[in-house]
């Protein structure tokens, strides 16, 4: 029985690793198109990149249900964020989709992180280092939408922030929450 469960876990892990590798490969292909696109309209090519990026992300993220297997989704979002940051210098800021995609990606990732009770330390470490890189890269390109998530990486876990812990325990946090929002908004 234990052998069957271990085999099932290994099989699931292999499928996850293969899928993440396929996602990385597909996003690399998209990146190469964005970098080598010689079209006259960078705005148009940026829009096409954003649309294909979103389709790809929905396809790969849709392979897991957040209720059943949320950790592979964290991996998917890390790969997606890294890929988008890599492409950002080649995307036109005049294309509204460029900022909309990172807005939506940031909100979806934040929602996913807040839905998790526990993230393994190694995954949290990869998330933190990846997000620090992505946040600084996107800021260099005028995209500041990751500031709320970047605030989370200052802690040793999603729910280790004292204000978020207070919210969970239903303590009176109205004043603290106001300060938290002001601090995070002013840091953008």
Share of the chain above pLDDT 90, in %: 34
| Residue 37, domain extent | 2-147
Assess whether 8 and 77 both reside in one domain. Answer: yes
pLDDT tens-digit readout, 7-42: 455 567 888 899 999 999 999 999 988 877 666 688
Total domains in the chain come to 2
Higher pLDDT, 185 or 75: 75
Assess whether 52 and 10 both reside in one domain. Answer: yes
Cα–Cα distance for residue pair 80/68, rounded to 1 Å: 21
Cα–Cα distance for residue pair 50/47, rounded to 1 Å: 5
Assess whether 135 and 161 both reside in one domain. Answer: no
Assess whether 118 and 160 both reside in one domain. Answer: no
Assess whether 142 and 163 both reside in one domain. Answer: no
- Does the reported pTM lie above 0.85? no
127, burial (CB in 10 Å: exposed 0-12, middle 13-18, buried 19+):
buried
Assess whether 28 and 65 both reside in one domain. Answer: yes
- Other CB atoms within a 10 A radius of the CB of residue 150 amount to 22
Cα–Cα distance for residue pair 3/186, rounded to 1 Å: 53
- Other CB atoms within a 10 A radius of the CB of residue 54 amount to 16
Average pLDDT, integer, range 78-88: 94
Assess whether 129 and 177 both reside in one domain. Answer: no
Alpha carbon 78 to chain centroid, angstroms: 5
Q: What is the DSSP string of 7-19?
A: HHHHHHHHHHHHH
pLDDT tens-digit readout, 125-168: 888 889 889 989 988 988 887 777 777 777 666 556 565 566 55
Q: What is the Cα Rg of the chain in Å? A: 18
HSE-CB of 30 using CA atoms within 13 angstroms: 28
Assess whether 9 and 102 both reside in one domain. Answer: yes
Assess whether 93 and 161 both reside in one domain. Answer: no
Average pLDDT, integer, range 169-177: 53
Assess whether 14 and 102 both reside in one domain. Answer: yes
Q: Residue 182: what pLDDT?
A: 46
pLDDT tens-digit readout, 85-111: 999 999 998 999 999 999 999 888 888
Distances from the Cα of 184 to the Cαs of 9, 116, 173, 179, in angstroms?
39, 22, 16, 8
Residue 81 confidence (pLDDT) above 90: yes
Pull the structure tokens for residue 142: 């005028």
Assess whether 46 and 110 both reside in one domain. Answer: yes
Assess whether 88 and 175 both reside in one domain. Answer: no
């Amino acid at each position: 029985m234990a052998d069957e469960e271990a085999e099932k876990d290994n099989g699931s892990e292999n499928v996850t690793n293969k899928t993440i590798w396929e996602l990385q490969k597909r996003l690399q292909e998209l990146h190469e198109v964005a970098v080598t696109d010689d079209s006259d309209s960078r705005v148009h090519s940026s829009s096409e990149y954003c649309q294909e990026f979103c389709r790809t992300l929905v396809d790969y993220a849709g392979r897991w249900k957040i209720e059943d297997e949320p950790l592979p989704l964290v991996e998917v979002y890390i790969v997606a964020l890294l890929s988008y940051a890599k492409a950002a210098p080649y995307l036109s800021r005049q294309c509204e989709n460029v900022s909309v995609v990172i807005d939506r990606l940031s909100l979806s990732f934040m929602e996913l992180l807040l839905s998790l009770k526990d993230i393994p330390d190694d995954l949290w470490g990869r998330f933190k280092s990846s997000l620090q890189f992505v946040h600084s890269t996107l800021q260099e390109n005028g995209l500041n939408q990751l500031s709320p998530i970047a605030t989370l990486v200052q802690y040793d876990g999603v729910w280790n922030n004292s204000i978020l812990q207070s919210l969970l325990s239903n303590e009176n946090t109205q004043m603290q929450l106001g300060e938290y929002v002001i601090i995070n908004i002013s840091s953008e």
